[in-house]
Amino acid sequence: MSEIDPSIAIYVEETRELLAELERGLLDLENDPSDMERVDACFRAMHTIKGGGAMFGFEEISRFTHDVETVLDRVRAGALPVTRELLTLTLAAKDHILALLEAPAEAGPDLREASDALLDSFAAFLPEAREEAAEAQASPSQQHPTATLDGETYACEAEPGPPSIYWVRFRPAPRILHSGNDPVRLLAECDGLGRARVLRHGPMPDLDAPDFDPEETYGVFDVIVRTPCGGNDLRDVFIFVDGDSDVLVERIHRGTLRDADLDELVRALAGLDAAPPEVVLDALSQALSAKLAFITEAKARVAEKTARLTGAEPSKQRQTAPSTAAASTTLRVDAARLDSVVNMAGELVILQSRLRQAVQARDLDAAAAVDEDLERLTDAMRDVALGLRMLPIGTVFSQFTRLLRDLSATLGKEVDFEARGGDTELDKTVIDRIKDPLVHILRNSLDHGVEPPDAREAAGKPRRGRITLSASHSGGNVVIAIVDDGRGIDVAAVRKKAVERGLLPADADVSEKEILEMIFAPGFSTAEKISDISGRGVGMDVVKRNIEALRGMVELESVLGQGTTVTIKLPLTLAIIDGFSVVVGGDSFIVPLVNLRGFQERFLAGETRTVENMERMGELIPVVSLRRLFDVPGDQPGYERVVVTEVEGEMVGFCVDKVVGRQQAVIKSLDDCYRHLKWISGTTINGDGSISLILDVPQLVRFVRGQEDSRLHAARASRTLTQ
């Protein structure tokens, strides 16, 4: 039932967070192995992951985590030291748990094999367990029957079919101990047959009560057990006391329930210590029915929601699909921020009633006052609402620490990595999408920038290199800088390579900065050999394109022999853009301000084409007629305005009828059925309620480039033919 429970998504999300915390903790421990608080925190994270894994049906996670947790527990108890080897192994375990968490369905044989391989390595830290296992293998004839459920092994033979839930009532005879039977031992045996929850209730005299006999047993033990075994196994536990003591074993449900559900069932028995069995069974039946009804309802809700999200029939859903969907759809938000949204919604209601009064009284002054207040409130509400999507960038920093730790070991380099400004907040989407470019830049810094220790020493530098990643706010942007103290970029080598690749004429007079920009050209790499780390053809051009897709920009500075600085500027959010509103016929469009370079005009006579050329500052630039491109109805005017934009150094003009002015556009993304539309990145609603389409300028520029290329090819082909 775990896969139908909506709380599974929460478990997945929390486990991801716990794994990130675990990674941070392990990396901190590398710097300070004596930090026992960190060891405790790592242990707690592992323990929570294990517990949740068993509860929510991630059996392989629960099974795998058990030994890792035990090893951490031994570290906690001082029985094992924190070593680099152990940390590396635990980091690998963390990666593996993440892989198990994100596996689309039940863990496949590959993942199980990977689990076993890692567990073998952990066994070295579990000497006792290994000995026990060896002993068990040596004497298989002495093995007891076992059954497994949720990764736990129980001392009984499993019955065919699903596990069952039993109610066991055990009212020990007062002098049970005199016959050598201890209720605690019997209950422990019961516990060994399944997951048991026990309620001890009934009379218990005070310590000083004259009739209190400390050698007698008082009260009743009600046990709810989830077991793969049968009722007879449970009855056998009490076989030697049945008769003197009251023992009742009843199956109350065939099927499994979560640990939390068992807790609830056992709580339903409180105060029923003296009640006859039928009353208790009735209470259990009621509690169970309520629980099962809740589960059925939750199952239907999840199936319906998943079907809505994917457009598929509920019965055809992969049952563990919610876990992956949850990754991109859930977000943890500071409660204070939600409170302010609620407060503002309250104020909005008050303003609305003030507005109604003003309208009813036809009081224009009062309406104007409401308008002013509303403007203030809307501004504040917009800021707070956008803040809900903000996450500290530090959430991804620990991944980089890990990346550089592992890479430096692979490359045989020594490097100190420092991340600053982790509390700088950015839109969640931006954070998700900036991660890959940052990984690429950091890899480059370590692979190409930081020299091997000997080379550094020869150059008079400390053996250990240094890479700093910092994030800070600057105006409406977030600035991320990656600084290394490596060998820097050899401008002459870059120039040579650019000339070789035909990106630059041999005699071109260009500045150092422009040459450095060449690094962002597609396919450019000065790496002498391609390594696993970088130089694999996915170059800085992809980094630049990804950053520009976030409406950001990237710059490079380098001093030969001293190091390189890569600076990335990103907008705080993707939800609102500054744009320029333009009109073609009856349609209005938004050109993002970040791409805008200026305006020109052109006079037309006769037929126009979709893409033409126009002179701008002594150069010919392509211009696109939006009227023809989008088939806007109406007559072609003889005079047009041209909006000049720039993407990746290329200028392209867009011909429009009218330029309206600057507009802050709240982006409304296109519905799925419009996803195939090219050249439009979204829509926005104007002040008058009409809709503007936001132009996807980079896509349009690529389209123009494609048109120009095909025209060029056609021209070349025709020349060849005439020759």
Which residues are near other proteins by CB under 8 A?
43-44, 47, 51, 73, 172, 177, 182-185, 187-188, 190-191, 196-201, 204-209, 212, 214-215, 217-218, 221, 223
Looking at the Cβ atoms of 184 and 617, the one nearer to other proteins is: 184
CB of 155 to other proteins, least distance (A): 14
Strands 658-666 and 576-584: antiparallel
Tokens of 421: 């400004």
Inter-residue contact 581 to 660 (CB < 8 Å): yes
Show Cβ contacts of residue 674 under 8 Å, excluding neighbours closer than 6 positions: 680
CB of 59 to other proteins, least distance (A): 15
Q: Which residue has the tokens 């002054």?
A: 365
Looking at the Cβ atoms of 189 and 612, the one nearer to other proteins is: 189
CB of 238 to other proteins, least distance (A): 14
CB of 40 to other proteins, least distance (A): 8
Looking at the Cβ atoms of 185 and 463, the one nearer to other proteins is: 185
Give me the torsion for CA of 239, 243, 244, 249, rounded to 10°.
Answer: 60
Give me the torsion for CA of 95, 101, 105, 111, rounded to 10°.
Answer: 30
Looking at the Cβ atoms of 182 and 375, the one nearer to other proteins is: 182
Looking at the Cβ atoms of 89 and 187, the one nearer to other proteins is: 187
Tokens of 205: 């005299």
CB of 170 to other proteins, least distance (A): 10
Show Cβ contacts of residue 455 under 8 Å, excluding neighbours closer than 6 positions: 487
Q: In whole angstroms, what is the distance from residue 407 CA to residue 710 CA?
A: 43
Inter-residue contact 558 to 489 (CB < 8 Å): yes
Looking at the Cβ atoms of 178 and 668, the one nearer to other proteins is: 178
Nearest to 238 by CA among 249, 253, 227, 252: 249
Q: In what order do the strands lie in the sheet with 576-584?
A: 658-666, 576-584, 587-592, 691-695, 680-685
CB of 177 to other proteins, least distance (A): 5
CB of 201 to other proteins, least distance (A): 8
Q: In whole angstroms, what is the distance from residue 145 CA to residue 230 CA?
A: 13
CB of 87 to other proteins, least distance (A): 22
CB of 178 to other proteins, least distance (A): 8
CA dist list (Å): 226 to 5, 263, 658: 18, 11, 73
CB of 191 to other proteins, least distance (A): 4
Nearest to 645 by CA among 657, 654, 632: 654
Looking at the Cβ atoms of 185 and 678, the one nearer to other proteins is: 185
Residues 302, 305, 309, 310, CA torsion sign: positive
Strand partners for 577: 665
CB of 205 to other proteins, least distance (A): 6
Give the angle 385-386-388 at the CA atoms, nearest 5°.
70
Inter-residue contact 425 to 393 (CB < 8 Å): yes
CB of 206 to other proteins, least distance (A): 5
Tokens of 343: 């407060």
Tokens of 114: 């990977």
CB of 43 to other proteins, least distance (A): 8
Inter-residue contact 480 to 471 (CB < 8 Å): yes
Looking at the Cβ atoms of 130 and 175, the one nearer to other proteins is: 175
Looking at the Cβ atoms of 228 and 585, the one nearer to other proteins is: 228
Give the angle 200-50-88 at the CA atoms, nearest 5°.
145
Looking at the Cβ atoms of 218 and 599, the one nearer to other proteins is: 218
Burial class (CB in 10 A: 0-12, 13-18, 19+), 500: exposed
Looking at the Cβ atoms of 214 and 689, the one nearer to other proteins is: 214
Show Cβ contacts of residue 331 under 8 Å, excluding neighbours closer than 6 positions: 388, 389, 391, 428
Q: In whole angstroms, what is the distance from residue 179 CA to residue 661 CA?
A: 95
Name the phi and psi angles at 73, rounded to 5: -65, -35
Looking at the Cβ atoms of 224 and 519, the one nearer to other proteins is: 224
Looking at the Cβ atoms of 199 and 700, the one nearer to other proteins is: 199
- Other CB atoms within a 10 A radius of the CB of residue 636 amount to 16
Nearest to 687 by CA among 581, 600, 549: 581
Inter-residue contact 553 to 547 (CB < 8 Å): yes
CB of 532 to other proteins, least distance (A): 41
Looking at the Cβ atoms of 233 and 447, the one nearer to other proteins is: 233
The DSSP 8-state label assigned to residue 448 in this structure reads I
Looking at the Cβ atoms of 216 and 557, the one nearer to other proteins is: 216
CB of 128 to other proteins, least distance (A): 14
Q: In whole angstroms, what is the distance from residue 297 CA to residue 305 CA?
A: 12
Q: In whole angstroms, what is the distance from residue 452 CA to residue 473 CA?
A: 34
CB of 426 to other proteins, least distance (A): 34
Looking at the Cβ atoms of 163 and 571, the one nearer to other proteins is: 163
Looking at the Cβ atoms of 45 and 483, the one nearer to other proteins is: 45
Inter-residue contact 666 to 576 (CB < 8 Å): yes
Strands 587-592 and 691-695: parallel
Side chain identity, residue 497: K
